[in-house]
Amino acid sequence: MGDYREIITKAVVAKGRKFIQSNHTVCPQHHPSSILGAWIINHKYKAKKVGNTVEVSGSFDINIWYSYKDNTQTEVVTECVEYKDVIKVKYRDEEILDDIEVVARVVQQPNCIEATISKNGNKIIVHVEREFIVEVIGETKICVAVADAGDCEDEDWGLEVEDEEFEDLNPDFIIGTEEE
């Protein structure tokens, strides 16, 4: 027997990260006088491996609270935005046996950085940022050193039950005795 063994295991075999900035145009029902607030909610996404990249597909809602008619009335406009971000991944080991799954984590949820009224005054332009980290988990082969059998013996962890612990037990705790 040799001093090393090859083991097939699941491991992160590739990683990628991407910061995305995008602009979205929202068309409110009225010509906005000013923007009172802009926020993003209902972010949903999923990821899949496509070639040597990971595609993150998702959607979020942009909500904009704005005033109109010379700041005399307000309204909230909501628009659903769908996106598809392609994230390049870097493989640590090209000799993977199989890609099993893709995990995507949000580093920064979609966030409204700025909302401005367009030059012609009838639309609102929203600047959004988001960031993802993706990992490809696959089967790979690792090489480990084999220890002598004597090196793998369990250490004394001190997990035995002590006599003092038995003293705290209530002997009348038994449920369903015959005396009932």
Residue 60 clears pLDDT 60, i.e. is over it: yes
Q: Which stretch of 77-81, 131-135, 159-163, 174-178 has the lowest confidence by average pLDDT? A: 174-178
pLDDT at 175: 63
Which tokens is 122 given?
């009838």
Model confidence band, residue 57 (pLDDT cutoffs 50, 70, 90): very high
User: How far apart are the two ends of the chain, measured CA to CA in Å?
Assistant: 65
- Residue ranges with strand state E in the chain: 4-26, 32-50, 53-68, 73-88, 90-91, 98-117, 124-145
pLDDT at 176: 57
Residue 26 clears pLDDT 80, i.e. is over it: yes
Which tokens is 143 given?
């090489």
Residue 130 clears pLDDT 70, i.e. is over it: yes
Mean pLDDT of the chain: 87
Put simply, whether the predicted model's pTM sits higher than 0.75 gets the answer no
- What's the rounded mean pLDDT across residues 26-55? 95
Residue 99 clears pLDDT 90, i.e. is over it: no
The three-state secondary structure class of 48 is strand
